């Protein structure tokens, strides 16, 4: 059952009633955009800069896509955990209302940019990929070796609702020629409960400050599962942007970013050889799934569809470097 959503007019009274902010602190509200799964509002007071998120019961996309609002509670638990592991990269949780599915966290420094926007505008620094690979591997290692930490994230219905169904099954239903291969990938994800997986490790959820500090956000799909998903999810976004660019230097930098991400990750833990097929499937879902990207031209979409379907039909084990090399041909 959905709950009443907060908005720019009601949020201050709500936060004052919950003692998150004080009316005497002159709180101001700013509507933040970019997400499809939450109400997102910035609240600035004389002493605090905060972000409020409230989970939507139905995501704001063209296809009907319902999702359990309990993901706000999952995200709050994940923020607390990952803030402890990486306090300079994950903002601190300030408040959780489990009944209205509202959480409040510290805002990243004003002036920080969304990494997705940087990549699309040609601001591409492979060092950020390397940094993210090292961080993600350390998180996966922690999750694998700490059974107590995994307990809060054993519920995986949210991953089913937000990832398996709209990305994997939705695309499989449209493509009977590669459905068997996609089913294998689904089985690999559903049959592996190895570690704590972020579930939305995407450039839109990564921010970069003016001094190149990297912040990681949006943990609502955190679950215990197969770590290959986090790797493939990020690589798929880089691959989509690789197909978008017509600038050879930008293409090379995007490729180097993906390779640096994988290289640093592999210094701390091994990567499944299936990462390339998961990457191809997720990239294909960004055209044919329930949440397509909005920056590919029709011609670029066709090329990406053709390329990723060929990868999924290929029986050879390909490396991430092969993925970008083949894309460039």
In tens digits, what is the pLDDT along the chain, a chain of 329 residues?
A: 457 888 899 999 999 999 999 999 999 999 987 566 788 999 999 999 999 999 887 654 445 555 567 888 999 999 999 999 999 999 999 999 999 999 999 999 989 999 999 999 999 999 999 999 999 999 999 999 999 999 999 977 889 888 999 999 999 999 999 999 999 999 999 999 999 999 999 999 999 999 999 999 999 899 999 999 999 999 999 999 999 999 999 999 999 999 999 999 999 999 999 999 999 999 999 999 988 999 999 999 999 999 999 999 987 778 898 888 877 66
| Cα(178)–Cα(315) distance, integer angstroms | 12
Strands 102-106 and 49-55: antiparallel
Can you count the helices (H) and strands (E) in the chain?
A: 13, 10
Report the interhelical angle of 126-145 vs 248-266 (nearest 10°): 30
Residue 277 neighbours by CB under 8 Å, 6+ apart: 181, 185, 311, 312
| Cα(105)–Cα(42) distance, integer angstroms | 10
So what's the pLDDT on residue 2? 57
So what's the pLDDT on residue 62? 44
| Cα(268)–Cα(141) distance, integer angstroms | 8
So what's the pLDDT on residue 191? 92
So what's the pLDDT on residue 118? 97
User: Would you say 135 and 83 are in contact if contact means Cβ atoms under 8 Å apart?
Assistant: no
Write the CA distances from 89 to 44, 107, 217, 238, integer angstroms: 21, 12, 9, 21
So what's the pLDDT on residue 63? 53
So what's the pLDDT on residue 329? 60
Strands 93-97 and 49-55: unpaired
Q: Which among 177, 187, 150, 151 is positioned nearest to 278, based on CA atoms? A: 187
| Cα(116)–Cα(177) distance, integer angstroms | 32
So what's the pLDDT on residue 61? 46
| Cα(294)–Cα(240) distance, integer angstroms | 11
Structure tokens at 275: 């990462």
So what's the pLDDT on residue 155? 76
| Cα(117)–Cα(244) distance, integer angstroms | 13
CA dihedral over 314, 263, 91, 12, signed as positive or negative:
negative
Give bridge partners of residue 266 from the DSSP assignment.
none
Structure tokens at 276: 């390339």
Residue 156 neighbours by CB under 8 Å, 6+ apart: 223, 224, 225
So what's the pLDDT on residue 153? 94
């Amino acid at each position: 059952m959905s709950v009443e959503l907060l908005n720019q007019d009601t949020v201050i009274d709500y936060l004052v009633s919950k003692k998150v902010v004080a009316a005497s602190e002159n709180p101001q509200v700013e509507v933040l955009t970019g997400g499809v799964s939450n109400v997102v509002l910035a609240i600035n007071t004389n002493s605090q800069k905060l972000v409020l998120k409230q989970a939507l019961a139905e995501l704001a996309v063209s296809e009907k896509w319902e999702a359990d609002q309990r993901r706000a509670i999952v995200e709050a638990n994940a923020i607390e955990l990952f803030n402890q592991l990486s306090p300079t990269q994950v903002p601190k949780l300030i408040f959780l209302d489990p009944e209205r599915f509202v959480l409040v966290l510290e805002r990243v420094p004003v002036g920080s940019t969304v990494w997705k926007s940087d990549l699309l505008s040609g601001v591409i620094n492979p060092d950020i990929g390397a940094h993210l690979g090292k961080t993600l591997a350390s998180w996966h290692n922690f999750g694998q070796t700490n059974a107590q930490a995994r307990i809060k994230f054993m519920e995986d219905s949210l991953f089913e609702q937000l990832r398996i169904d709209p990305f994997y099954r939705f695309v499989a239903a449209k493509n009977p020629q590669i459905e068997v291969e996609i089913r294998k990938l689904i089985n690999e994800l559903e049959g592996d409960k190895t570690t704590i997986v972020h579930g939305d490790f995407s450039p839109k959820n990564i921010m970069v400050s003016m001094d190149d500090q990297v912040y990681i956000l949006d943990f609502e799909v955190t679950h215990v599962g197969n770590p290959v998903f986090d790797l493939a999810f990020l690589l798929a976004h880089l691959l989509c942007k690789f197909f978008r660019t017509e600038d050879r230097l930008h293409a090379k930098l995007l490729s180097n970013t993906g390779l640096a991400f994988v290289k640093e990750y592999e210094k701390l833990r091994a990567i499944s050889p299936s990462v390339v097929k998961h990457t191809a499937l997720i990239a294909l879902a960004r055209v044919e799934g329930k949440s397509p990207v909005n920056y590919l031209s029709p011609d670029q979409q066709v090329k990406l569809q053709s390329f990723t379907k060929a990868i999924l039909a290929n029986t050879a084990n390909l490396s991430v470097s092969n993925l970008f090399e083949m894309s460039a041909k």
